[in-house]
Amino acid sequence: MSIPPSSVPTPPPQPAPASPLTLHGQYIKDLSFENPRAPQSLIEQKQPQLTLNVNVATRQFETKTFEVTLTIEATAVTPEKEPLFVLELVYAGTVTLGEVPQDAFGPLLLIETPRLLFPFARAIVANATREAGFPPLNIAPVDFVALYRQQLEASKGQIPGITGDGPVGHA
């Protein structure tokens, strides 16, 4: 026996699962570029020694709303240790976490969010160095998992940047 298609009950639509992470916006908090030896540094064309540091930090606004900052510092010096340029970028995003367990906060905030922010920060660094007269500084992808593990070790197992003190402000 077959049932006509019109009499088969249709299950109610299932709501889409809530996203574990919602990125509300991203922005430059601070951008500094110093070219102390210009124009001499552009004329000499010496192979620089480059130092690059990347750091991730969080700041809590509400129970599940955070600002995640990605700080990139790059310094180039000549073989004689004379500065060519100094760049500092603080690039941030505001995120809200969905219904996730507390132990997922660290990986979402300090691994996944920086992965989302990094391509944009990388482009800003490349454009800033190019606009300053140097070849664009194209930063290789960052291993945010390793960076997170280093931060965990340094904070003795507590999730870095996340405290139980409650909100510190309002977005």
Question: For every one of its 171 residues, what pLDDT tens digit does the chain have, with 9 covering 90 and above?
Answer: 555 555 556 666 665 556 788 899 999 999 999 998 888 877 877 788 999 999 999 999 888 899 999 999 999 998 888 889 999 999 999 999 988 888 889 999 999 999 999 999 999 999 999 999 899 999 999 999 999 998 888 877 666 555 444 433 332
10's CB contacts (< 8 A; 6+ apart) are: none
Going along the chain from its start, the domains and CATH numbers come out as 19-154 (3.10.420.10)
| Closest C-alpha to 56, from 115, 129, 105 | 115
Cβ distance 21 to 112 under 8 Å?
A: yes
